[in-house]
């Protein structure tokens, strides 16, 4: 289930990119900061809860996703990259995790484990001092 995020829910701001790039970096604001407020979005409540529960450094304590895109020299391409990364983040929690069902080990697996322990114990017992 792919969720769609409209651009009206996202706030973009152009900033100057970091790193090497010479004069272009110093005068052109081609990097993009994307801000997406999870609480104010139109996402379903379960998706919002799973998104807020993520331990992701891009999500602030106030529940705002901040993504910085500066890989290309084009502001439009950086905007598209930031939207793609936001969509991937939201879609990663779109499907609820499968509930884990507790199971018990089979009788055969218990027997094999105990047999292995017995063999290992015999090897270790043979390492002791030899009595005459």
Q: Which two tokens stand for residue 121?
A: 């114990």
Q: What is the pLDDT of residues 78-121, one digit of tens each?
A: 999 999 999 999 999 999 989 999 999 999 999 999 999 999 99
Instruction: Specify if 40 maps to a domain.
Output: yes
Q: Show the domain range for 62.
A: 7-92
Instruction: Specify if 124 maps to a domain.
Output: no
User: Residue 81's domain is classified under what CATH number?
Assistant: 3.30.160.20
Instruction: Specify if 13 maps to a domain.
Output: yes
pLDDT at 102: 94
Average confidence (pLDDT) over 51-72: 92
Instruction: Specify if 100 maps to a domain.
Output: no
Instruction: Specify if 106 maps to a domain.
Output: no
Instruction: Specify if 98 maps to a domain.
Output: no
What is the model's pTM? 0.72
Q: What are phi and psi of 124, to 5 degrees?
A: -70, -35
> Percent helix, strand, coil in the chain (nearest 5)?
40, 15, 45
Q: How many domains does the chain have?
A: 1
């Amino acid at each position: 289930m792919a969720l769609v995020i409209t651009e009206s829910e996202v706030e973009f701001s152009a900033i100057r990119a970091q790193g090497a790039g010479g004069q272009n970096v110093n005068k052109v604001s081609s990097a993009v900061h994307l801000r997406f407020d999870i609480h104010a979005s139109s996402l379903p409540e379960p998706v919002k809860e799973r998104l807020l529960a993520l331990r992701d450094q891009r999500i602030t304590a106030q529940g705002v996703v901040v993504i910085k895109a500066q890989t290309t020299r084009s502001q439009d391409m950086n905007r598209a990259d930031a939207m793609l990364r936001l969509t991937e983040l939201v879609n990663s929690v779109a499907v609820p995790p499968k509930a884990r069902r507790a199971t018990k080990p089979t009788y055969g697996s218990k027997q094999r484990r105990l047999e292995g322990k017995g063999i290992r114990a015999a090897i270790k017992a043979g390492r002791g001092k030899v009595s005459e």
